[in-house]
Amino acid sequence: MIDQIFLKELRAACPALMVQTDVPMSRYTTLRVGGPADCMAEPSDVEELKAALELARRCDVPVTVVGNGSNLLVRDGGIRGLVIRFGRAFSCSATEGETITAQGGILLSDLAQQALKAGLTGLEFASGIPGTLGGAVVMNAGAYGGEIAQVIESAEVLSSGQILALDRETLGLSYRHSRMQDTGELVLSARFRLQKDDTAAIRARMEDLRVRRQDKQPLNLPSAGSFFKRPVGAYAAQLIDEAGLKGCRVGGAMVSEKHAGFLVNAGGATAADFLALMRQVQETVYKNSGFRLEPEVRIIGEEA
């Protein structure tokens, strides 16, 4: 339960801040599982964000930052302290020449559409990723041969109350990793360097990717996208398939029969179901192939 003194001070310091208590995280994750967050706030601007973070620091209240919840598994016990959610207030963007600058709360699909309208190529891969820009930069998100590291020029991050401008090299982007995962810095915005191209050609590539996703991915069921990282020298989905795990189920959590790299909510799943299924997949794949699969999804919160 959130400290009531902290909650009172938060509302006094940021009277316009949208604050909810005892919030089911299942509403805010694409897996549709997760216990309650003690407190959730959606800042409307950077100053409000900084004020909430500073107050939490002074009151020793833990802080968790989320975006669209598309690469997130929240345990059934929920999240203690304050959850900061980057929403629509942090989704502004602007195009100038061959660059696009956007805030961390914008959906990647919306950013890809903006690039399309401007006749800029490079973000087609992002058109079907359901996450926000901030989370995508933090994990160097990618799909179908493209990734954030290929097109990002710089980012602004919030670090201990200070806004820092980091270039591509300083961001430390590698496979599903960035320096922000180590420092806890928050991505406020990012700038992308793209290239001019024919709008029809860009649209055709995006449509091709849409069709490929529709054909190969279980888009009809709640998931967190690819659940496991790609191991060196192999593909997670292939290893899971070869281990005979398609359709394997624990409670409401299931290895997709359409794409073995996806763990889906087949109905009524809990976070505990997903964690048990994850461990079963890891153990079976290791016994079958010798590869140890690591989760790509971010697993947070407390056990029930």
Tens-place pLDDT, residues 154-187: 999 999 999 999 999 999 999 999 999 999 999 9
Instruction: Evaluate whether the domain defined by 4-85 bears CATH number 3.40.50.300.
Output: no
**Is residue 34 within 8 Å of residue 74, measured between CB atoms?**
yes
In the predicted model, is pLDDT for residue 51 greater than 80? yes
- pLDDT, average across residues 43-56: 94
**Is residue 18 within 8 Å of residue 90, measured between CB atoms?**
no
pLDDT at 251: 98
Q: Which of 209, 205, 227 is nearest to 71 (CA)?
A: 227
- Report residue 5's pLDDT band, with 50, 70 and 90 as the boundaries: confident
Query: What is the model's pTM?
Result: 0.92
Q: End-to-end CA distance of the chain, in Å?
A: 14
Looking at the DSSP bridge assignments, the partners of residue 166 are 155
- Report residue 3's pLDDT band, with 50, 70 and 90 as the boundaries: confident
Q: What is the pLDDT of residues 131-143, one digit of tens each?
A: 999 999 999 999 9
Positions annotated as catalytic residues are 176, 226, 296
Q: What is the pLDDT of residues 232-275, one digit of tens each?
A: 999 999 999 999 999 999 999 999 999 999 999 999 999 999 99
Query: For domain 90-201, which architecture applies?
Result: 2-Layer Sandwich (3.30)
pLDDT at 230: 94
Task: Please provide the average confidence, as pLDDT, over all residues in the chain.
Answer: 95
Residue spans of the domains in the chain: they are: 4-85, 90-201, 219-300
Phi, psi of 282 (to 5 degrees): -60, -45
Instruction: Evaluate whether the domain defined by 219-300 bears CATH number 3.90.78.10.
Output: yes
CA distance 219 to 63: 31
